[in-house]
Structure 1
Amino acid sequence: MTYIALLFLFIGIELIYFKIADHYNIIDKPNSRSSHTSITLRGGGIIFPIAIVTAFFLGYVSWAVVLAVVLVAVISFVDDITPLSQLPRFASHAIAIGLVFYDLSLFTQVIWILPIVFILLIGWVNAFNFMDGINGITVLYAFVAIASFSFLSINQESLPLLITMGLSCCAFGVFNVRKKAKTFAGDVGSISMALFLGYFMIKTILISGQIGYLLFLSVYGIDAVITIFARIKKKENILEPHRSHLYQYLANELGYSHIVVSLLYSVIQLLINAILIYSENIGKLTLPVVVSFLLFQIMVYVWIRGKVLRKVNLQNV
């Protein structure tokens, strides 16, 4: 199957899903915490787990990774329709991460590595899900990550898998990257994509031995972590929906276009990734450089967030 045919297949599947979602009223209704103002079909991100199942039948990915992504996708899709308690969601994430560990042979590593990687993956999956709030941000950011992984020579054997997942982003983006989105990813999309990106991040680090590639996802990571700390400082429940991310202040309080903000996040991450790849190619991506670069990103983010919050507060006076 050619990649063009695969793209049109994914678009066709999305159109079929829209009919089903419309019939069964699988929708997002705007509320005080939302960044959208009109009723929108939920769960269009179902194309992401469908894409990885397709990749499996084409021989691009192992059964363990497919089972992990499909497991979190199914539980998340049920949660999109009928909210579930924390237990089944956490259990599905834990089992899925165990499958990822199995695929990457992490169970053969020293035991103390496992809880660290487990916590990082759990945190990443939830951070990625929390960041899914405005049109285009999830799919554009995911596409940048996939493109960055694809550019690394060490990932050439996985290129068909990465292209397949990238095509699913393109298909979803047709209906999401617009002023008025036709559909949102839903938990089924954001969590399954987060798990896939987390899996591929660990795989890339293991193959390359380069911890600096963690910064391929640093824009989301920094925004998520600092927002969590800010909410804890305000004594807010960090598990409840909110509008406290920097991108939400930009899109909601300051009124910037969703697409402009989403492109801003994605382009900044793309530039960071290009710097990382170049630094590695010239042999300069050492641990001190990685740590310094991360601290620099954090300082810039805090500075920008402070300026934006001051502007928001002035508007509310």
Structure 2
Amino acid sequence: MSPLVPAAAALAAALACAGLVVALRPLLARYALARPNARSSHVTPTPQGGGIAVIAAALGAGAGALALTGIAPGFQASFAWLAAAATALGLVGAVDDIRPLPALPRLLLQVACVALVVFVVGGSSRILPDMVPLWLERALSVLAGVWFVNLVNFMDGLDWITVAEMVPVCAAVLALALALDRPGAALVAAALGGALLGFAPFNKPVARLFLGDVGSLPIGLLVAWMLYELAAAGALAAALLLPLYYLADATITLARRLLRGERIWEAHRSHFYQRATANGFSVRAVVGHVFGLNLALAGLAAVTLGWPGVQAPALALGAALVGLVLRRFSHPSRETDPWPAR
């Protein structure tokens, strides 16, 4: 696939997303206002639901590129199912943004959407050795997918943080997928990354618009599928390295909350990035750390593709870099914060 195709898809998604945000923001300000509470990082009522524009633009640009260019003809049916699952998760998130759903029905709907992607879109792809039964690998894939969808939602609690995390991940997936001849994953990565760039000006500190669950949940699903594609193509180490900060922050936080006997499905402010703002880091300093870390992780992921023999050292180095950032966030900052919390 020519690199011009994903580049055009990214540009189209960015422009479409920005246009949709401008059109939808007055409506969202009227009907989807996120009011600050004890667990919020923002201090003034702010509209949420910008994820509608992000997902619509990403899926629209992806579908348009597939229809107009004829690339990856075998991927068109899979993309339709992927888009359907992402749209269904977006609808669940939209309802949850307006009137919170009970935890169990929400979880069951997420499992159904992830299972659709694993069993239908994933096809015959394998990640684990053949000695592992296929049913077990599928079950583990669904479990991992549901966790990833939720952790992306958990981590979307600060201006620009999803952009700082997912734009480098999408860019890296685009490059690696092109190298691995996975045009479908490359196209989705380009479209989603472009849509997030179109959303970024409206979400910069202090944000004028939030993603909402309508955006974070399907973004988690799309990125989980892209990482699954990398792993199925033999780049498992890269697929683990790219989202390593989100994986570490969310998983460690969940484990700590479980040990404290807390209700893990309830909102809280104990993630490392949230503690960083409480420790005096500015919002831009936090997202700057996350963005820089993700660039480093993307570089390590590329190294594992070029030199497979360094996969274990690259994973160890990536884990060490993530650990340093988490430790930094856990201690007070000496900087003066010129940017108020969102």
User: Is the shorter-chain TM-score for this pair beyond 0.5, marking a shared fold?
Assistant: yes
Tell me the TM-score normalised to structure 2 length: 0.82
Task: Say if 2:274 is the partner of 1:216.
Answer: no
Cα deviation digits, residues 146-169 of structure 1 (max 9, x gap):
011012112562333322211110
**Gaps in structure 1 of 5+ consecutive residues:** 310-317
Q: Cα distance, 1:8 vs. partner?
A: 2.3
Alpha-carbon separation, structure 1, partners of 2:298 and 2:322: 16
Task: Say if 2:59 is the partner of 1:42.
Answer: no
Q: Cα distance, 1:49 vs. partner?
A: 2.1
Cα deviation digits, residues 215-256 of structure 1 (max 9, x gap):
1100011011111122223322221111111111111x1232
Q: Secondary structure at the match of 1:208?
A: coil
**Gaps in structure 2 of 5+ consecutive residues:** 68-75, 127-132, 334-342
Cα deviation digits, residues 263-299 of structure 1 (max 9, x gap):
211210220220221233133333x435534653565
Alpha-carbon separation, structure 2, partners of 1:280 and 1:154: 9
Query: In the alignment, residue 14 of structure 2 is paired with which amino acid?
Result: L
Task: Say if 2:116 is the partner of 1:99.
Answer: yes
Tell me the TM-score normalised to structure 1 length: 0.88
Q: Cα distance, 1:48 vs. partner?
A: 2.7
Classify 1:215/1:308 alpha carbon distance in 2 versus 1 (closer, same or farther; 3 Å): farther
**Aligned-residue CA RMSD (Å):** 2.4
Query: In the alignment, residue 287 of structure 2 is paired with which amino acid?
Result: S
Cα deviation digits, residues 14-45 of structure 1 (max 9, x gap):
1111122123x211100111111011011111
Alpha-carbon separation, structure 2, partners of 1:180 and 1:230: 30
Cα deviation digits, residues 151-196 of structure 1 (max 9, x gap):
211256233332221111011101002x210111100111110110
- Describe how 1:22-101 pairs up with structure 2 within 5 A: 22-23=29-30, 25-54=31-60, 55-59=62-66, 62-101=79-118
Alpha-carbon separation, structure 2, partners of 1:53 and 1:303: 37
Task: Say if 2:171 is the partner of 1:170.
Answer: no
Which residue number corresponds to residue 200 of structure 1? 226
Which residue number corresponds to residue 340 of structure 2? none
Alpha-carbon separation, structure 1, partners of 2:152 and 2:113: 16
- Describe how 1:123-272 pairs up with structure 2 within 5 A: 123-152=147-176, 153-154=179-180, 157-158=183-184, 159-177=186-204, 179-251=205-277, 253-272=278-297
- Structure 2 contact 245–322 (Cα < 8 Å) conserved: no
Alpha-carbon separation, structure 2, partners of 1:155 and 1:174: 32
Q: Percent identity?
A: 23
Alpha-carbon separation, structure 2, partners of 1:181 and 1:295: 31
Number of corresponding residues:
305
Query: In the alignment, residue 162 of structure 1 is paired with which amino acid?
Result: A
- Structure 1 contact 201–213 (Cα < 8 Å) conserved: yes
